[in-house]
């Protein structure tokens, strides 16, 4: 056991996989010599050298295109897109190339690669550097989509993503990089498509992702202590594949579903889960499904404004209390 930051976990996860498999290569802007703008890839260049850890120009389409071509022909590339907002400048690869070539070629083409990207708000960077865009990937058939909330999950899910034969979009939360957590020694390998019940409860199910996970847990503590409401908290971890069994199982037990989403509201991942629950466990529901999200607005830069637009433990508590009464 060691205590690592989420940031250190990224580097350790990549290193673990690069040591295991020589075909794992890594590319992105400022990722090699400088160790990444979030310092999440420090040490990799020194250990694996300039042929496996490569700095690129500011050419996101070339980064993802090159990753795809390499993946199709035998390598296992990990590509970094510095901020997830920049997925927009290379979205053709995300939406039209990675996820469709296998299908269109009737199974001839493979595309085993991982796109890592810094996602989410909290750094006061403003509307073009703070978005939560997991739904940009989730809505595209053929991708897998992962977003860990703890250092241990970072390593295990990153390893699973690298070993996965399909294209995986891996969202790291910028506001979690400095967060510490216990990490087992030795190789860590987790499983995509598995949600985790982090807190058992009988009155309501709260589903959260990434930065919203600690906030949901904090809210659950307050709800139990101050309001006598006993919430089950689930960390979705992987949006595709989606562990609907764990989610629907919980909702069936508790009868209530709340999602806590950092994304602006429309078509967020919570909408999809809500629609699944409203269909498949409708008769187990005891009350409305409520989504707690960032309002459907671009993000403000100012710290006091940014702090109030994202779901906070207080807002989660208030919404749940209001809806449960």
Ligand X SMILES: Cc1ncc(C[n+]2csc(CCOP(=O)(O)OP(=O)(O)O)c2C)c(N)n1
Per partner kind, with CB cut-offs from 5 to 8 A, the member of ligand X, its own copies, another protein, none near residue 43 is: none
Residue with smaller CB distance to another protein, 120 or 142: 142
- Binding segment for ligand X (CB under 6 A), chosen from 82-90, 172-180, 205-213, 306-314, is 82-90
Residue selected from 89, 104, 200, 297 as contacting ligand X according to rule CB under 6 A = 89
Dihedrals φ, ψ of 54, to 5°? -125, 130
Q: Binding residues for its own copies, per CB under 8 A?
A: 85-86, 88-89, 91-92, 94-96, 99-100, 103-104, 126-128, 135-136, 138-142, 240, 263-272, 274-275, 277-280, 282-283, 285, 287-291, 296-298, 300-301
Please name the residues in contact with 247: beta carbons below 8 A apart, sequence gap of 6 or more: 195, 205, 207, 234, 236, 273, 276, 277
The residues pairing with 199 across neighbouring beta strands, listed in sequence order, are 233
In angstroms, what is the minimal distance from the CB of 40 to its own copies? 23
Site membership for another protein, residue 278 (CB under 8 A): no
Query: Which conformational region is residue 116 in: left (phi greater than 0), alpha (psi within -120 to 50 degrees), or beta?
Result: beta
Residue with smaller CB distance to ligand X, 48 or 83 = 83
Could you say whether residue 302 binds another protein (CB under 8 A)?
yes
Closest CA to 316 of 200, 186, 211: 211
Q: In what order do the strands lie in the sheet with 168-173?
A: 53-55, 24-28, 76-83, 114-119, 168-173, 144-146, 238-240
CA-based nearest residue to 82, from 116, 123, 52: 116
- Annotated catalytic, 296? no
**Minimum distance between the CB of residue 88 and ligand X, rounded to whole angstroms?**
8
DSSP letters for 219-232: HHHHHHHHH---EE
Contact region with another protein (CB under 8 A), list: 148-156, 211-219, 253-261, 292-300: 292-300
Positions annotated as catalytic residues are 129
Interface contacts to ligand X, rule CB under 6 A: 29, 58, 60, 82, 86, 89
């Amino acid at each position: 056991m060691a205590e690592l930051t989420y940031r250190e976990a990224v580097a350790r996860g990549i290193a673990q996989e690069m040591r295991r498999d020589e075909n794992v290569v890594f590319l992105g802007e400022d990722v090699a010599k400088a160790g990444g703008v979030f310092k999440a890839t420090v040490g990799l260049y020194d250990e694996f050298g300039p042929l496996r850890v490569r700095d690129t120009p500011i050419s996101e389409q070339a980064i993802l295109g090159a990753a795809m071509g390499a993946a199709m022909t035998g390598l296992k590339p990990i590509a970094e897109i510095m901020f997830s907002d920049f997925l927009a400048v290379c979205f053709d690869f995300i939406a039209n190339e990675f996820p469709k070539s296998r299908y269109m070629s009737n199974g001839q083409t493979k595309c085993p690669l991982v796109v890592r990207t810094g996602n989410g708000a909290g750094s006061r960077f403003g509307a073009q550097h703070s978005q939560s865009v997991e739904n940009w990937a989730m809505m595209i058939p053929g991708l897998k989509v992962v977003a860990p909330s703890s250092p241990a999950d970072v390593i295990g899910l990153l390893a699973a993503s690298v070993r996965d034969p399909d294209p995986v979009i891996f969202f790291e939360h910028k506001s979690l990089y400095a967060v510490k957590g216990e990490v087992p020694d030795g190789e860590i390998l987790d499983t995509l498509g598995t949600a985790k019940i982090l807190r058992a409860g009988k009155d309501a199910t709260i589903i959260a992702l990434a930065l919203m996970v600690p906030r949901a847990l904090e809210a659950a503590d307050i709800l139990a202590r101050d309001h006598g409401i006993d919430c089950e908290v689930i960390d979705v971890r992987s949006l595709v594949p989606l562990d609907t069994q764990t989610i629907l199982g919980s909702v069936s037990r508790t009868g209530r579903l709340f999602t806590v989403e950092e994304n602006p509201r429309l078509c967020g991942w919570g909408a999809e889960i809500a629609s699944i629950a409203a269909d498949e466990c409708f008769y187990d529901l005891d009350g409305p499904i409520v989504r707690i999200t960032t309002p459907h607005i671009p993000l403000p830069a100012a710290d006091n404004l940014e702090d109030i637009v994202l779901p906070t433990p207080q807002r989660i508590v208030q919404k749940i209390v209001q809806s449960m009464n």
